[in-house]
Structure 1
Amino acid sequence: MWLSEAREELGGLIDDREDVREGYRVDAWPLAVKRARNGSPGTPPVAVALPRSTADVARVLAWAASRDVAVVPWGAGSSVTGAPLPTGDALVMDMRGLSRVREIDSSGGRVTVGAGVTGGELERILAEQGMTTWFSPQSLHRSTVGGWVATRATGQFSSRWGGIEDAVLALTVVLADGTIARVGTPPRGAVGPDLKSLFIGSEGAFGVVTEVVLRIHPLTALSGLEALGLPSVEAGLTGLREVMQAGLRPALLRLYDSDEARHLAGRQPLPEAVVLVGFAGVPAVAAAERQATSEILAGLGARSLGSEAAEAWLASRYDFSRVERLLDEPGGYAETIEIANGWTEILQTYRAMKLALTPLADEVLAHFSHTYTDGTSLYLILLGRVADDSEAVRRLEAIWAVAMRTALTAGAVISHHHGVGRARAPFLADQLGEGAAVLAKLKRALDPGYVLHPGSLVPASRAVRTSG
Structure 2
Amino acid sequence: MSESELLIRQLTAAVGAGKVLTDPAVLSATSHDTWPVSTKWARQDQHPYRGDVVIRAGSEADVVAVLEVAEETGVPVTTRGLGSSVTGQPLPTRGGIVLDLSGLTGPHEVDEVDMTVTAPAGMNGGALEDALNQAGWTMRFSPQSLYRSSVGGWLATLATGQFSSRYGGVEDLVVGYRVVLAGGEVAELTASPRAAMGPDLRRVFLGSEGTLGVITRVTLKIVPLPAAQHLQTFLVPDVTTGLAIMREQAARGLRPSLLRLYDADEARHAMADPDFDGTVLFVGTEGEPEVAAAEMTVLTTMATERGATELGPEPVQAWLDRRFDFSTVEKRLDTPGGFAETIEVAHTWRHIEGLYAAIRKALEPLADEVLVHFSHVYPQGTSMYVILLGQVADDAAASARLAEIWATTMQIGLDHGAELSHHHGGGLARSPYSRRSLGAAHGVLRRLKHALDPDGLLNPGKLGL
Q: Distance in 2 between matches of 1:154 and 1:269?
A: 32
- For the residue of structure 2 that corresponds to 1:97, the secondary structure is coil
Which deviates the most, 150-159 or 89-98? 89-98
Q: Distance in 1 between matches of 2:395 and 2:361?
A: 25
Alignment of 1:61-460 (within 5 A): 61-220=67-226, 223-265=229-271, 270-459=276-465
- For the residue of structure 1 that corresponds to 2:378, the secondary structure is coil
Q: Distance in 2 between matches of 1:37 and 1:97?
A: 27
- Matching residue's letter, 2:278: E
Corresponding residue pairs, total: 459
Residues 264 and 209 of structure 1: CA distance in aligned 2, closer, same or farther (over 3 Å):
same
TM-score (norm 1): 0.96
Q: In the TM superposition, what whole-angstrom CA distance separates every residue of 1:7-51 from its partner, at most 9, and x where no partner exists?
A: 344423322222222210210000111122123233321111122
Q: Distance in 2 between matches of 1:21 and 1:358?
A: 37
- For the residue of structure 1 that corresponds to 2:270, the secondary structure is coil
The aligned residue for residue 466 of structure 1 is none
Q: Distance in 2 between matches of 1:301 and 1:171?
A: 47
Which deviates the most, 53-62 or 226-235? 53-62
| Cα offset, 1:222, TM superposition | 5.7
Q: Please, which runs of 5 or more residues in structure 2 have no aligned partner?
A: none
Structure 2 contact 58–103 (Cα < 8 Å) conserved: yes
Residues 29 and 278 of structure 1: CA distance in aligned 2, closer, same or farther (over 3 Å):
same
- Matching residue's letter, 1:236: G
CA RMSD of aligned residues (A): 1.3
The aligned residue for residue 3 of structure 1 is 8
Q: In the TM superposition, what whole-angstrom CA distance separates every residue of 1:254-307 from its partner, at most 9, and x where no partner exists?
A: 000000001123678645310001111101000110011111111111101112
Q: Distance in 2 between matches of 1:220 and 1:10?
A: 44
Q: Distance in 1 between matches of 2:174 and 2:162?
A: 17
Q: Distance in 1 between matches of 2:359 and 2:118?
A: 40
Residues 144 and 9 of structure 1: CA distance in aligned 2, closer, same or farther (over 3 Å):
closer
Structure 2 contact 34–84 (Cα < 8 Å) conserved: yes
Q: In the TM superposition, what whole-angstrom CA distance separates every residue of 1:84-114 from its partner, at most 9, and x where no partner exists?
A: 0112231011111111243101221100011
Q: In the TM superposition, what whole-angstrom CA distance separates every residue of 1:146-174 from its partner, at most 9, and x where no partner exists?
A: 11101000000000000000000101000
TM-score (norm 2): 0.96
Q: Distance in 2 between matches of 1:395 and 1:269?
A: 28
- For the residue of structure 1 that corresponds to 2:269, the secondary structure is coil
Q: Distance in 2 between matches of 1:336 and 1:267?
A: 21
Which deviates the most, 335-344 or 179-188? 179-188
Q: % of aligned pairs identical?
A: 48
| Cα offset, 1:434, TM superposition | 0.3
Structure 2 contact 166–255 (Cα < 8 Å) conserved: yes
Residues 359 and 376 of structure 1: CA distance in aligned 2, closer, same or farther (over 3 Å):
same
- Matching residue's letter, 1:146: G
Q: Please, which runs of 5 or more residues in structure 1 have no aligned partner?
A: 460-468
Q: In the TM superposition, what whole-angstrom CA distance separates every residue of 1:167-203 from its partner, at most 9, and x where no partner exists?
A: 0010100000100000121211111111110000000
Residues 51 and 214 of structure 1: CA distance in aligned 2, closer, same or farther (over 3 Å):
same
| Cα offset, 1:53, TM superposition | 1.5
Q: Distance in 1 between matches of 2:68 and 2:277?
A: 59
Q: Distance in 1 between matches of 2:307 and 2:423?
A: 31
